[in-house]
Each structure stands twice: as C-alpha cells, then as structure tokens.
Structure 1
Amino acid sequence: MADEDLLAERFQAHRPRLRAVAYRMLGSLSESDDALQETWLRVSRAETDEVRDFQAWLTTIVGRVCLTMLRSRQQRREDSLEIHIPDPVVCAEDDTNPETAALTADSVGLAMMIVLETLAPAERFAFVLHDMFAVPFEDIAEDLEKLPAAVRQLASRARRRVEGRAPVPDPDLAVQRTAVDAFFAAARNGDFEALVAVLHPDVVLRADGGVLRAGQSVMLSGAQTVASQAQLARTLAPYVQRVLINGTPGAFVVKDGQPISLMSFDVVAGKVVSIQVILDPERLDEVARLLAA
C-alpha cells in the first residue's frame, strides 16, 4: 500500500472523532465537513514520520482550522440579532452509525450548542478541546500563543457560562422520551393544564425560521406562555415522527410529504426545560433527505 493510501486510511479511521471536534467548534455540519477537508489537505502535505500520537496530532490540526473559521465569521455573527439554532444531528432512534454516535456523545444537545455559540473563539477553542476532548492545556496554549495559565482561565470562564446556561438532560433516554410524548399528547388533546404540568416553570422555547421564515423566529419563556404557543400547533401533533436530535428525543413534523418543523427537547428531572424549533425550509428539506437515505 502506498504511503499516501496508508495515510488516508489512518485519517478515515479518526474521521468520526475529528468531525465531532469540528461540529462542537463550529455548530455547522457543512462547515465541519469543510474543516475536515482542509485538515486532510494539511495532513497530506505534512511529514508524519515523527508523529507519536496520531489522534492528538489530528485533533490539534482540525482545532486550528476551526479556530481560524470561527475568527473569520465572528464579526458577522456579532452583527446578527436573529435567533440562530446550530445545525442539528438528526437520526432514527435505532441509528448505530459510528459517526452519528461520535457527534451526539456526551449529551451535547442543541441547548448546549446554542451556549457554545455565545463563547468567544478562544474560549470555545479552549473549552471544547480540553473539556470535551481532553487536549492538554499546554498544547492548546501553543495554538493560542498564550501561557497555559491564561488558557486555563479561558476554559474556566467558558465552563462557568456553559454550566449556568446549558441544561444537562436526564441520563435515562426513556425518561426523556416519556416527557416528550406527554408534551405531544397534551398538545394533541388541547389539554392546557397537562402541557403546563410537563413543562418546567422557566422553560425556554427558541424558534429559528431562517431567512425564508425570519418572521417566525422567536424566543418564549415560562410554562404558561410556551403551553399557549404549543396549543396553536395541536393540529400538527398527529404528524409527528419520533427521531433523535443530538442524542436526545425529538420530533420531525411532516404533513402530506411536506416537512413542517423539527423540535428538539431538553428534559431534566422529568420536565421539559428547553425546546428548540427549526422552521427553516432549507434545513428541514435536508433533514428529510438524510432520514430517507
């Protein structure tokens, strides 16, 4: 086997982990694929004879690529006031694809991804690489051109923001699914009290309509408010398809072959604490294609 073929084979073996790093760094599946392509170009041109830990080396390279991409788009995101929900990782409940498993490991739900979007590029870089992928602070410091102590502070600041704002879902998937099923049963029956009962008092709902449905991008909070909004969609409840979204129970609503919405739920102690709704037609069509494949 030629050296380049062997290198490509080794790279492919680590692809699920590398795509997981890129996804947590960028929150975009298409940009993650772009990052992996750029990573491969750098790897294919590099001397690998003295690389002792191939996985760590690849993780460092894809991290650097993502950091550059984050910095280049930072100004655009800062100027945007629209609600943006990162790309979801959607699969059937019985999906066993290893790349999907890597992307959805450790309960990195959409609520967590939304919080990661609020971090500065250096904070996100330090937190994702160290806390999620166990990259030593010394290696991260070299990439950021900072002292390890300064990188520890970046990661600590990011950790505090994440822990304070990103819910940690119930570890039991069955408990999560029970709450989600109860939500849709109450919506289908028009049972306002049952809806309120399954929602946490401080539940937050975010809806991202994208460019084509920008007017539907909203953020609501409070069980009474969210329950009132949910009742408006009761006619869609019969068209719910059960899916997993970033490893947690979700729903893909399709009526007469037309995707209507994608809903992700975070359930803590049996209560729905956050709901993410994607209404963007382009992203919904992409989800439909992926599920049909």
Structure 2
Amino acid sequence: MVAMYESELLAGRFEEKRPRLQAVAHRMLGSAEEAEDAVQEAWIRLQRADVAAVENLDAWLTTVVGRVCLDILRARTRREELFEELLDQHADPPPAAPADEAADPEQAAMLADSVGKALLVVLDTLEPDERLAFVLHDMFAVPFSDIAAVIERSPAATRQLASRARRRVQGASPLPDLRRQHKVVSAFLTAARSGEFDRLLALLAPDVAMRADATAVGIGAAQATHGAQGVARIFSGGAQGARLALVDGAVGAVWQAKSRTIVAFGFTLEDGRITAIELVGEPGRLEELDIVVLE
C-alpha cells in the first residue's frame, strides 16, 4: 500500500513537470512525437531511479530529457551522414522530383510539428551539442554547469558552444525574441489578474487592436476592440484562468478546461508593447495551432 501511494505521488509530481519537459524536448527535437517519446523515457528512468537521492527533481528531469534528446539528435545526424555516403556511392544522381513533390515529406512534417518554423530551420543547422547548449540555456535558463554534465564538457566549453550557436541563430534569421515576448506577455497577464489598469496601459500600444473569432465571441469575448483604454478595461481584473503558453512558437496564452484549450490568445509586439491581440476559439483553427503550455 505504501509503495503504491509513493508511486502515485511520484507520478503526480512528474505530471506537474511534464509541460516544461515537453517544451524543452520540443525545442530540442522539433517534433511533437519525438518530444513525447523523450519525456516518456524520462518517466521510465525516474521510476528506476533512487528518487530519495534526487535533491532537485526539476534539474534531474531536465538533465535526463536533455541526454535523451542529445542521443536522438546524434542518431539523426549519423543517419543523415550514412544516407549521404550511400548517395556518393552511386555514379548517377537520383532523378529530380517534380516541383510540387520536391519537399521531403518527413521534413515537411517536422516543420509542421515545430514550435516555430523559422527557429526550427535554423536550429537544424546546429550541431547536436550546440543545439542542446543553446536551447537549454537561452530558452529555459538551465545553468551551464548542469548542461556541461549532459554533454560531458566543461562549463566554459559549454558556454562557448551556446555562444557560437547564438551567433549562428541571430545571424541566420530575424527570429522572435522569445525572452522579450515572455517578459511582456507575462507582465500583461499579471497586471490583468491583479487589476493594475495603469500597468496594462503601459504595456499596450495606444492603437492596440483586439479581435476575436465567432466562437470566442460566442463564449463572451468582444468581436473587436480598439485602443489601449478599451482593451485595458476588458482585461483589468480578468484573465484569471489564462495560462502562459507557446502558440505556434510565439509567447501567448490559453484558456483551458480539463486540459483542453478553449481559447488561444495570440499577441503581436512592437518595441516592447502589445500592438494586437487575437482570440481564437474555433475548434478547427485551434487544432492547427501548436500549443505548449508553460505555466
């Protein structure tokens, strides 16, 4: 009975960590299916571990997920190298695919599963160790000392890997600043929940526009609201059930019921202020969104 109770307690603690672990694995691998497999592997390893000896469960699980993802990335890189070697052995190149079939279906599926298409394309150019160092440190604030243990390098070498990856990412594409987005959207939700009207005004652009689709309107949202004063009045004291989330690779929010997303909030930012808010409630559109809850 005691063992069963402890097992249920451990499962509950793991489920609390699952959203963050899923987000880490998704950023690392760019595939929802592979991310789920990596998180499940972490659960299997946790069940086999001496949990009493684990001082920081968050750090332990992040390390395990990082190692699993690193193994997957290295295996993926090796498969690509072997495939290239096989191609080199043939004298005649394979025939070109028709224009409408040129895209690799697996690559297309990977991009569709990514939390941010532009980011995934750039991350795919990084070496596995670089990718892990950059994702864990820059996106999830994992200390270099912890990352170093995963890739079996010194903290200084790990810092250099992340720095090199950061330069390549920043130089390859004008990717959204997720940290800046997180700071602004998180502050906005906090101000809304506590009814800080002036703080909301400071975070909204004067000409901010908020729009909702028909389903969200049916739930009670206004179809269209323009101007900081109007939007701030709607949110002041509200958003109590909104949870911070990645929505198609950008920081947004969701309102859920029994873990099912009812409404997704998309935010557009310029110069540190929110210029547009879109509320999506139509089930078909929600199914097309890639949502990773952060809270």
**TM-score when scaled to structure 2?**
0.52
In structure 2, stretches of 5+ residues that fail to align are 85-101, 186-203, 210-246, 253-267, 272-283, 290-295
Kept in 2: contact 1:29–1:87 (CA 8 A)? no
Partner of residue 128, structure 2: 121
Partner of residue 167, structure 1: 174
Q: Does 1:24 align with 2:37?
A: no
Q: How far is 1:43 from its partner?
A: 0.6
Distance 1:269 1:7, change over 3 A: closer
How many residues are treated as equivalent by the alignment?
176
Kept in 1: contact 2:27–2:135 (CA 8 A)? yes
Q: How far is 1:290 from its partner?
A: 3.6
For the pair shown, the structure with the greater C-alpha radius of gyration is 2
Q: How far is 1:246 from its partner?
A: 2.6
Give, as a single letter, the amino acid of the residue that structure 1 aligns with 2:167. Answer: R
Once superposed, which parts of structure 1, at least 4 consecutive aligned residues long, lie more than 4 Å away?
78-83, 170-175, 267-270
Partner of residue 235, structure 2: none
Partner of residue 47, structure 2: 44
In structure 1, stretches of 5+ residues that fail to align are 91-103, 179-243, 250-266, 271-286
Residue by residue over 1:3-36, the C-alpha shift from the partner in whole angstroms, topping out at 9 and shown as x without a partner, is 1111111000010000000000000000001111
Q: Does 1:140 align with 2:147?
A: yes
> Aligned partners of 1:47, 1:144: CA distance in 2, in Å?
22
Superposition pairs for residues 14-93 of structure 1, below 5 Å?
14-77=17-80, 79=83, 84-85=107-108, 86-88=110-112
> Aligned partners of 2:52, 2:270: CA distance in 1, in Å?
51
Distance 1:43 1:3, change over 3 A: same
Kept in 2: contact 1:22–1:62 (CA 8 A)? yes
Give, as a single letter, the amino acid of the residue that structure 2 aligns with 1:57. Answer: W
Give, as a single letter, the amino acid of the residue that structure 2 aligns with 1:62. Answer: V
Give, as a single letter, the amino acid of the residue that structure 1 aligns with 2:54. Answer: V
Q: Does 1:152 align with 2:155?
A: no
Superposition pairs for residues 1-293 of structure 1, below 5 Å?
2-77=5-80, 79=83, 84-85=107-108, 86-88=110-112, 109-169=116-176, 245-247=248-250, 290=287
> Aligned partners of 1:248, 1:129: CA distance in 2, in Å?
17
Instruction: Give the % identical residues.
Output: 49
